[in-house]
Amino acid sequence: MIELAEVYKGFTVRDRKTRQKKRIEAVRGVSFSVHPGEIYGLLGPNGAGKSTTLRLIAGLMQAERGLIRVGGFDAGREPEAARACVGYLSGDLNVYGRFTPREFLRLFGQFQGMQARVAEGRALALLERLGLLDFMDVRMEGFSTGQKQKVSVARALLHDPRVVVFDEPTTGLDVLTAKTVLDLLRELRAEGRAVIVSTHVMPMVEDICDRVGILFDGVLYGDAPLDQLLAARHARNLDEVFFQLAGEA
Ligand SMILES: Nc1ncnc2c1ncn2[C@@H]1O[C@H](COP(=O)(O)OP(=O)(O)O)[C@@H](O)[C@H]1O
Ligand SMILES: [Mg+2]
């Protein structure tokens, strides 16, 4: 459902002090798969390449080398078809404060080419599931971080995507909102969707992820079911694995 083979992506940036151009190799030869009905946890410290990897899967940028298949489509050759399969939640909360959730989701339904009634029905079901139905017609400018995140989650899932790509979905959320989001991810898995989440919250990964990959400096380590990863490294928990790998990387 999601397949990456030897994927590379770098950026050319200008050094702030020296003004010299330099290359950042954000993703270096990454390969892994996420199957339907599976939650893949992509771990790694800040700057490791998690968001870049997820943006590549979501079709927001193109890989420089390697192959990415999403929902059966080649993301390089058929980017629009691949993109249409993906529900992508970015790290930042970009909701428009002057809109209500109903207006905001209606607009995104239009972007996705959905029939207005279908989009409205999906929006209502998702907001109900997320406990936000009472706020459907309230302007979002006064919303809490958690409420905004819930609207972002509803937006990402509006078009009923088979592939779910969530970048740090619980960062900055209170425990109750985080639980709502994690429970929803479990439901998406049970519905047979392929789910990938990035995070640096280890207990969350231990809680919900079937398979784990850990990025350091653009290189993927682990890529195994959690129990296998722990057993292979004689570790009691993911923190221990993380520190071992950090030492090696
Ligand atoms: N659009 C971009 N332009 C230039 N550099 C970028 C861009 N996006 C990411 N990077 C760089 O690529 C590296 C990986 O970033 P990112 O994928 O955001 O990591 P993570 O999500 O794991 O924190 C970092 O060094 C970051 O500064
Ligand atoms: Mg990131």
In this structure, what are the phi and psi dihedrals at residue 189, rounded to the nearest 5 degrees? -65, -45
User: Does residue 45's CB lie within 6 angstroms of at least one atom of ligand 1?
Assistant: no
- For the stretch 95-146, pLDDT in tens is 888 999 999 999 999 998 999 999 999 999 999 999 999 999 999 999 999 9
Q: Which ligand is nearest to the CA of 50?
A: 1
Q: How far is the CA of 168 from the centre of ligand 1 (A)?
A: 14
Nearest atom within ligand 1 for CA of residue 48: 22
Closest CA to 225 of 239, 209, 247: 209
- CATH 3.40.50.300 residue ranges for the chain: 2-85+161-248
User: Does residue 169's CB lie within 6 angstroms of at least one atom of ligand 1?
Assistant: no
Q: Which tokens in the block code for residue 185?
A: 């991810």
pTM more than 0.85: yes
The DSSP call for residue 142 is: G
How confident is residue 172, by pLDDT bands cut at 50, 70 and 90? confident
User: Does residue 49's CB lie within 6 angstroms of at least one atom of ligand 1?
Assistant: yes
- Tell me which residue has tokens 């398979």: 211
Share of the chain above pLDDT 70, in %: 100
Q: Which residues pair with 197 in a beta bridge?
A: 41, 166
* Burial bucket for residue 185 (CB in 10 Å: 0-12, 13-18, 19+): buried
Give the β-pairing of 65-70 and 73-74: antiparallel
pLDDT at 203 over 90: no
pLDDT in the model for residue 167: 96
Q: Which ligand is nearest to the CA of 168?
A: 2
- Tell me which residue has tokens 């870049």: 52
Share of the chain above pLDDT 90, in %: 84
The DSSP call for residue 73 is: E
Q: What topology does CATH give the domain 2-85+161-248?
A: Rossmann fold (3.40.50)
Higher pLDDT, 70 or 16: 70
Q: Which tokens in the block code for residue 228?
A: 């296998």
pLDDT in the model for residue 4: 98
Determine the residue of 11, 21, 216 to mutate for testing ligand 1's pocket, defined as the one with the most ligand atoms within 8 A of the Cβ atom. 11
- Tell me which residue has tokens 């080649």: 74
What is the helix (H) or strand (E) element at residue 155, kind and residue range? helix 145-157
